[in-house]
């Protein structure tokens, strides 16, 4: 395919996929609410269910920040090593490795903080 044809399809596919994700999210959310109503929950128990679901994990943003930090660290180190050694494998290697370390660190930090609370 020509580059111009591919360039036209990129935004079309992006908006189609974004719209599909939104439609599926709202469909599943309404389906969940329908199931709660069908199971004859009263209004207080439904409210309690959604409040506990909304609170979720208290350290969600902290974990996300730690993972983003390690992702950026891996990307930066990979680009620096790629420029200095002229090898193409540094970026994906360090990106996946350091991001994986970031996931582990984020879970350990969240676990320690949840034990203190």
Query: What's the CA gap between 90 and 102, in Å, rounded?
Result: 17
pLDDT in tens, 3-36: 788 888 999 999 999 999 999 999 998 998 888 8
Residue 46's pLDDT is what? 80
**What SS3 class is residue 39?**
coil
Mean pLDDT, residues 45-58: 76
Position 44 pLDDT exceeds 80 = yes
Query: What's the CA gap between 59 and 114, in Å, rounded?
Result: 8
Torsions phi, psi of 2, nearest 5? -75, 160
Mean pLDDT, residues 79-107: 95
Angle at 41 between CA 25 and CA 37, to 5 degrees: 45
Query: What's the CA gap between 42 and 61, in Å, rounded?
Result: 32
Mean pLDDT, residues 39-65: 81
**In 83-116, which positions are buried (b, 16+ CB within 10 angstroms) versus exposed (e)?**
eeeeeeebbebbbeebbeebeeebeeebeeeeee
90, 78 Cβ separation under 8 angstroms: yes
**Average pLDDT over the chain, rounded to an integer:** 90
């Amino acid at each position: 395919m020509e580059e111009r044809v591919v360039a036209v399809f990129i935004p079309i596919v992006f908006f189609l996929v974004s719209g599909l994700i939104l439609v599926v999210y709202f469909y599943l959310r309404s389906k969940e609410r329908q199931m709660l109503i069908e199971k004859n929950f009263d209004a207080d128990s439904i409210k309690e269910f959604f409040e506990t679901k909304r609170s979720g994990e208290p350290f969600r943003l902290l974990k996300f920040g730690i993972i983003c930090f390690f992702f950026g660290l891996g990307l930066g180190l990979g680009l620096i090593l790629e420029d200095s050694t002229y090898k193409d494998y540094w970026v994906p290697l360090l990106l996946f490795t350091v991001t994986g370390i970031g996931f582990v660190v984020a879970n350990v930090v969240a676990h320690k903080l949840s034990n203190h609370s």
